[in-house]
Amino acid sequence: MEQSDAAQAFATLGHPDRLAVYRLLMRFAPRGARPTEIAAALGFKPNTLSHHLADLTSAGMLRVERRGRSLHYSIALDRAEGLIGYLALDVGRGRPDLMPGLSAPLMPEVRPPSDAPRHVLFLCTANSARSLFAEALLRDLGQGRFVAHSAGTRPGPGPNPMAIEVLRRNEHDVSGLASKSILGFQAPGAPRMDFVFTVCDTAAAEDCPPWPGQPITGHWGLPDPVSAPGTEAERALAFAQTYAALRRRIAAFVALPLDRLDRLAVQSRVDAISKD
């Protein structure tokens, strides 16, 4: 990246609200988000957000795509890579000895192949339906290769009864399922995660601290069946459809040859699964 381009990028990101938009969209990368979703997550007024999105797009930091009647904004990943490379290779002269705190997260150690099960955490807001579906599915479909966990950023009082009914109908053991807080997985002594997936848009927008060990992350957002309108039968159908969508994604995930793929390849496959 040229110095003039880097200066423009830094100037654009220098505004705290524009930086907040950029950080939020980074958590959705490589997918994008609609302005209404961004405004709701950050609490910005539509006209204010519009100015920030225009500035970020003009600076080449974001890409915008029209899908039907909606605009979707996403991170310009090549520009982000260039900016990081400018800091590490130009400003930092490519010397890891000068920036040990930066080079370690950028180049995390690849774990060697192991028979030890990988720990996977599924996050949503209330931890009452989607993340519990995912926990039960990975536990059973993974056949001992994974340790499945789930948690909520703002956990509810317990699993949704309709979610429990769907799991029982599909012959999953529900005796150990409960709504849990994300804080328990960020405390000292918590299991070290290999993968962290968000299964609802709100959880993806939460400003969570970095996870120890730099786990691979993915956003597998699905509509919340708990909020589905209609009759009881229509709501039950929404739960069944959400379960089916997660089953397809988790079946694809457990089929990945994780021991034969490098980190970038695994991340690419995880991102591709979200498009199902």
98-123 pLDDT, tens digit each = 455 544 444 444 454 467 899 999 99
Give the pLDDT confidence of 58-80 residue by residue, as tens digits. 988 999 998 888 888 998 988 88
Does 203 lie in the same domain as 144?
yes
Nearest to 38 by CA among 29, 49, 30, 27: 49
Give the pLDDT confidence of 172-190 residue by residue, as tens digits. 999 999 999 999 998 888 9
Q: What is the DSSP letter of 70?
A: E
Mean pLDDT confidence for 25-48: 86
How far is it, in rounded angstroms, from Cα 12 to Cα 4?
12
Range of the domain at 76: 3-106
Does 101 lie in the same domain as 133?
no
Note if the pTM is more than 0.75: no
Residue with tokens 């997660």: 246
> Does residue 171 lie in a domain region?
yes
> Residue 207 — pLDDT band, cuts 50, 70, 90?
low
Give me the percent of the chain exceeding a pLDDT of 70: 86
Does 79 lie in the same domain as 181?
no
Q: Label the pairing between strands 118-124 and 195-198.
A: parallel
Does 57 lie in the same domain as 32?
yes
Does 264 lie in the same domain as 138?
yes
Q: SS3 of 59, please?
A: coil
Residue with tokens 């519009």: 50
Does 133 lie in the same domain as 61?
no
> Does residue 112 lie in a domain region?
no
Give the pLDDT confidence of 212-245 residue by residue, as tens digits. 777 888 888 888 999 899 999 999 999 999 999 9
How far is it, in rounded angstroms, from Cα 112 to Cα 178?
33
Name the domain boundary from 106, 138, 162. Answer: 106
Q: SS3 of 275, please?
A: coil
Q: What is the pLDDT of residue 89?
A: 58
Name the domain boundary from 40, 75, 106. Answer: 106
Alpha-carbon dihedral angle through residues 109, 150, 135, 218, given to the nearest 10 degrees:
-50
Mean pLDDT confidence for 131-151: 96
> Does residue 149 lie in a domain region?
yes
Residue 122's CATH number: 3.40.50.2300
